[in-house]
Amino acid sequence: MTTTRESPPSAKNGRSAASDPFPLAALLALATAGFITILTEALPAGLLPQIGAGLSVSEALAGQLVTVYAIGSLVAAIPLTAATQGMRRRPLLLAAIVGFAIANTVTAVSGDYLLTMVGRFVAGVSAGLLWALLAGYAARMVPEHLKGRAIAVAMVGTPLALSLGIPAGTFIGNAIGWRACFGLVSGLTLILIGWVLLKVPNFPGQAAGKRHSLRGVFRMAGVRPVLFVTLAFVLAHNILYTYIAPFLAAAGMGERPDLVLLVFGLTSLAGIWIVGVMIDRRLRELTLASTALFGLAALAFGLWSEIPVAVYGAVAVWGLSFGGAATLFQTALAKTSGDAADVAQSMLVTVWNMAIAGGGIIGGLLLERIGVAAFAPALLGLLVPTLIVAWTAHRHGFPATDTIP
**Poorest-pLDDT segment among 4-13, 57-66, 317-326, 378-387:** 4-13
CB 120 within 8 A of CB 103: yes
The CATH number of domain 214-403, selected from 1.20.140.150, 1.20.1250.20, 3.40.50.1820, 3.40.50.920: 1.20.1250.20
Torsion sign across C-alpha atoms 350, 191, 120, 87: negative
Alpha carbons 208 and 210: distance in angstroms, whole number: 6
Nearest Cα to Cα of residue 113 among 162, 71, 52: 52
Q: What is the pLDDT of residues 26-81, one digit of tens each?
A: 999 999 999 999 889 878 877 777 888 899 988 778 877 877 888 888 888 888 88
More confident residue, 8 or 315: 315
Q: What is the pLDDT of residues 100-149, one digit of tens each?
A: 999 999 999 999 999 999 999 999 999 989 988 888 888 889 887 888 78
How high is the pLDDT of residue 5? 39
**Alpha carbon 69 to its chain's center:** 14
Using 50, 70 and 90 to split pLDDT, how confident is the model at 18?
very low
**Most confident region among 124-133, 198-207, 325-334, 376-385 by mean pLDDT:** 376-385
Rounded to a whole number of angstroms, the CA Rg of the chain reads: 20
Q: What is the mean pLDDT of the chain?
A: 83
Alpha carbons 382 and 72: distance in angstroms, whole number: 26
Residues 6+ away with beta carbon under 8 Å from 151: 134, 135, 138, 139, 279, 327, 330, 331, 334
Q: What is the pLDDT of residues 262-300, one digit of tens each?
A: 788 889 888 888 987 888 788 899 999 999 999 999 999
**Alpha carbon 10 to its chain's center:** 30
Residue 162 has pLDDT above 80, yes or no: no
Q: What is the pLDDT of residues 27-40, one digit of tens each?
A: 999 999 999 998 89
Domain ranges, ordered by start, for the chain: 21-210, 214-403
Residue 209 has pLDDT above 60, yes or no: no
Domains 21-210 and 214-403 share a fold: yes
Per the CATH hierarchy, to which homologous superfamily does domain 21-210 belong?
MFS general substrate transporter like domains (1.20.1250.20)
CB 27 within 8 A of CB 35: no
Residue 94 has pLDDT above 60, yes or no: yes
CB 273 within 8 A of CB 395: no
